[in-house]
Amino acid sequence: MLLLSGFVYCLFPAPGSAAQPRSHILMIDPAHGGEDMGVIADKLREKDLTMKLALLVRQEGEKAGNLKVQLTRSGDTGMTIAERIKAVGAARPDCLISLHVNAGFGKKAAGYEVYFPGFGKTVAGGSESAAILKDMERNRHLNDAVRLAQQLQASLEKVFPRKGRGLRDAPSPLLDWLNVPGVVVEIGFASNPGDRSALASEETQQAVARALVRGVQGYFQK
């Protein structure tokens, strides 16, 4: 009778005992750092803004409960691409967002962009079975990166209505060497007075962090 009760309990868990949602690891790469300032415009420095946004995303991830956020750098330190790749490899995240701030194209260029790694980087595996499997895995990560980019774009649109500049397929010195779904988010143009003013606002920074977390959560709901 006891065994039967246990079997019934497994089939029909008691109220309030529902399985917890799976926890995922999101890695945020705050671009630049240390002597590498990145874009500088007025009082805005790219390395500072990407770091601040990364910390805010980590806070929002903690609130979500099922999202663990790790950073490639947690302070004002310079990192090479190789060091960032090593950090990602050690963390073994489920996905990666590299945060950047855009500039150039005059003062009129504005809005956010989301890049995923170029599909042209995929190398055919030939007849080697191991190479073919590696190539298949690479394609899967690229397809996942596109889905992640789509979710982030939709979420950021709520923060910056009609300011999206579209999804862009481009090579990345960081993402091209990783077997992890990853994207680059250019959060706005420091060279545009309107974007620069918005990005300097703590309210906007918090909204961006929440939007990134929402986008990642949407990506994992697959």
Long-range pairs for 57-62: beta carbons < 8 A, 24 or more residues apart: 57/26, 57/28, 57/97, 57/209, 57/212, 57/213, 58/28, 59/209, 60/209, 60/210, 60/212, 60/213, 61/26, 61/213
Question: Could you tell me if residue 200 is inside a domain?
Answer: yes
- What is residue 151's predicted lDDT score, i.e. its pLDDT? 97
55 inside domain? yes
Q: Report yes or no on 112 lying in a domain.
A: yes
Using pLDDT thresholds of 50, 70 and 90, give the confidence band for residue 20. Answer: low
Does residue 11 sit within a domain? no
Q: Does residue 105 have a pLDDT over 90?
A: no
Per-residue H/E/C for the chain: CHHHHHHHHHHCCCCCCCCCCCCEEEEEEECCECCECCCEECCEEHHHHHHHHHHHHHHHHHHHCCEEEEECCCCCCCCCHHHHHHHHHHHCCCEEEEEEEECCCCCCCCCEEEEEECHHHCCCCCCCHHHHHHHHHHHHHHHHHHHHHHHHHHHHCCCCCCCEEEEEEECCCCHHHCCCCEEEEEEEECCCHHHHHHHCCHHHHHHHHHHHHHHHHHHHCC
**Count of structural domains, the chain:** 1
Average pLDDT over residues 98-121: 88
Res 138: pLDDT? 60
The pLDDT value given to residue 119: 65
Establish if 62 belongs to a structural domain.
yes
Assess whether pLDDT exceeds 60 at residue 124. no
DSSP code at position 24:
E
Can you give the CATH number for the domain in which 84 is found? 3.40.630.40
Average pLDDT, the chain: 85
What's the domain range around 98?
22-117+129-220
Per-residue pLDDT at 10 exceeds 50: no
Backbone φ/ψ region at 110: left (φ over 0), alpha (ψ -120 to 50), beta: beta
Give the per-residue pLDDT at 64. Answer: 87
- Lowest average pLDDT, out of 4-13, 44-53, 64-73, 171-180, goes to 4-13
- Alpha carbons 64 and 219: distance in angstroms, whole number: 14
Q: Is 102 domain-assigned?
A: yes
Residue 66 has pLDDT above 90, yes or no: no
Per-residue model confidence (pLDDT) at position 120: 56
Q: What is the pLDDT at residue 213?
A: 97
- What pLDDT score does 99 carry? 98
Amino acid making up residue 199: L
Residue 197 and residue 16: Cα distance in Å, rounded? 46
pLDDT: which is higher, 45 or 132? 45
124 against 56, higher pLDDT = 56
Which has the higher per-residue pLDDT, 21 or 117?
Answer: 117
- Decide: residue 202, CB within 10 A, 0-12 exposed, 13-18 middle, 19+ buried: exposed
Asked if the structure places residue 167 within a domain, the reply is yes
pLDDT value, residue 21 = 60
3-class DSSP state of 170: strand
pLDDT of 139: 67
Is residue 126 predicted with pLDDT exceeding 50?
no
**Is 8 part of any domain?**
no
